[in-house]
Amino acid sequence: MTYVSKPVHILCQDLFKIYKVADLEVVALRGLDFNVDQGEVVAIVGASGSGKSTLLNILAGYDTPSAGGVSVGGTDLLRMTSKEIEHYRQSQVGFVWQQTSRNLFPYLSTIDNVSLPMMLTNLPAEERRTRATDLLRLVGLEHRMAHTPEKLSGGEQQRVAIAIALANHPPLLLADEPTGELDDATAAEILDLFGVANQELGTTVLIVTHDPDIAYKVGRVVMIRDGKMSTEIRRKITFTRVSGHADSEQELDEYVLVDGSGRVQIPRELLDQLKITGRARAQIENGKVTLTPDG
C-alpha cells in the first residue's frame, strides 16, 4: 500500500543515547530511525525502559543524543546554541507529562496557568488573555477559568495541561503517557482532545502510551524495542482523525521496520517459534525474504 506523504516534521537518523551512571553505561537509544510527517498523529508504544521518554526528551530539547542526527521542522537540534534551544522549547514544541501535577502551577488559576508560557513572548496582556480563553474553550474548560488545579479533576487538569502546551501555538505536541493516571472514559476524552488540536490547529502529535487499543484510535503506531523502532501498525484505509474510542472494525497492517542500514528487528515470538538464535539463512523466494534456522 502507498501513502501520500506530507513534508517531514521529525527526522531522527541513527540516534544513540548513552547515559553514564558511575562506571556503568546505559544505552537508552541504539541507532533509532524515525520520521513523522507534518500534521501526523503517531503513538509510540514499548516496554518500560525501551527508550520512549528518552526520545521525547530529545525531541523536546530537554536532552541531547550521544550520536546520530535529529531535526524538527527543518531545524537541526544538535546545531543550536543554548539560546536557540530555549526559543525552540518555547515556540516549537508543547509537552504534556503523565503526572498531572507536573504540568500545572498549583497556586495559579487555570487561565493564569495557560497564560504563563505566553509571558515569555512579547504578546500584549490582553491578547494573552484572549488566546488563553480560546484555548480553554478548545479543551472544554471555559467554565473553570478561575479555578486552581486542586479544584479540578485529573482529567480536567490534563485538559489544562494540553491548553498550556498549546499556548504558544507550537507546531508539535509531545505527550509522555498523558492518560496514564486517568480512568478509561476520561482517557478517551483526552485522546479525543489531541485529535481536536490536530484537526483544528494542524498540530503534529506524538503520544507515548500503554493503551493496548491505541492502534484502533490513531492512524499509526510505532513500537520501540531496546532503543530502536521495531514494528509499525497502520490502518489499511488511510485515516487522519483521532478518536478516544477504539474503532475495532478497522483493518490494520503490521510492518517490520527496515532502518537506513538495512537492519530489522524480527519479533521475538517469531524467532522463538522457529528457534532462531544468533544465526539464520536469509534467502529470496518468490519475491519474499525468508529466514530459515541454521542446521
Ligand X SMILES: Nc1ncnc2c1ncn2[C@@H]1O[C@H](COP(=O)(O)OP(=O)(O)OP(=O)(O)O)[C@@H](O)[C@H]1O
| Binding residues for ligand X (CB under 6 A) | 19, 21, 26, 28, 46, 48-54
Q: Looking at beta carbons only, is 142 or 226 nearer to Mg ion?
A: 226
- Within a 10 A sphere around the Cβ of 36, how many other Cβ atoms? 22
* Per-residue 3-state assignment (H helix, E strand, C coil) for the chain: CCCCCCCEEEEEEEEEEEEEECCEEEEEEEEEEEEEECCCEEEEECCCCCCHHHHHHHHCCCCCCCEEEEEECCEEHHHCCHHHHHHHHHHCEEEECCCHHHHCCCCCCHHHHHHHHHHHCCCCHHHHHHHHHHHHHHCCCHHHCCCCHHHCCHHHHHHHHHHHHCCCCCCEEEEECCCCCCCHHHHHHHHHHHHHHHHHHCCEEEEECCCCCHHHCCCEEEEEECCEEEEEEEECCCCCCCCCCCCCCCCEEEEECCCCCCCCCCCHHHHHHHCCCCCEEEEEECCEEEEEECC
CA distance 55 to 28: 9
Rounded to a whole number of angstroms, the distance between the first and last alpha carbons of the chain is: 36
Taking CB under 5 A as the rule, does residue 98 contact Mg ion?
Answer: no
> What is the C-alpha separation between 255 and 118, in angstroms, rounded?
41
* Residue closer to ligand X (CB basis): 63 or 259: 63
Pick between residue 111 and residue 207 the one whose CB is nearest to Mg ion: 207
67 is in the binding site of which of Mg ion, ligand X, none (Cβ under 5 to 8 A by kind)? none
Q: How far is the CB of 18 from ligand X (least distance, A)?
A: 9
C-beta of 266: minimal distance to ligand X in Å? 21
Q: How far is the CB of 100 from ligand X (least distance, A)?
A: 16
168 part of the interface to Mg ion, by CB under 5 A: no
Query: Which part of the chain contacts Mg ion (CB under 5 A), choosing from 48-56, 67-75, 78-86, 124-132?
Result: 48-56
Of 50, 53, 103, 198, the one binding Mg ion by CB under 5 A: 53
CB of 2 vs ligand X, minimal distance in Å: 31
Residue 50 or 168: the one with the smaller Cβ distance to ligand X is: 50
- Smallest gap from residue 53 Cβ to Mg ion (A): 3
Rounded CA gap, 74 and 205, in Å? Answer: 17
Residues 272-291 that bind Mg ion (CB under 5 A): none
Smallest distance, Mg ion to C-beta of residue 225, A:
14
Choose from ligand X, Mg ion, none: what does 28 bind? Cβ within 5-8 Å by kind.
ligand X
Decide whether 6 or 210 has the Cβ nearer to ligand X.
210
Min dist. Cβ of residue 47 to ligand X (A): 7
Q: How far is the CB of 181 from Mg ion (least distance, A)?
A: 13
Our finding on whether 179 is near Mg ion (CB under 5 A) is no
Pick the closer one to ligand X by CB: 50 or 115.
50
Give the binding range for Mg ion (CB under 5 A) out of 52-60, 140-148, 178-186, 286-294: 52-60
**d(C-alpha 139, C-alpha 196), whole Å:** 8
Nearer to ligand X among residue 40 and residue 176 (C-beta):
176
Residue with Cβ nearer ligand X (51 or 65): 51
Q: How many other C-beta atoms lie within 10 A of the C-beta of residue 246? A: 15
- Interaction site with Mg ion (CB under 5 A): 52-53
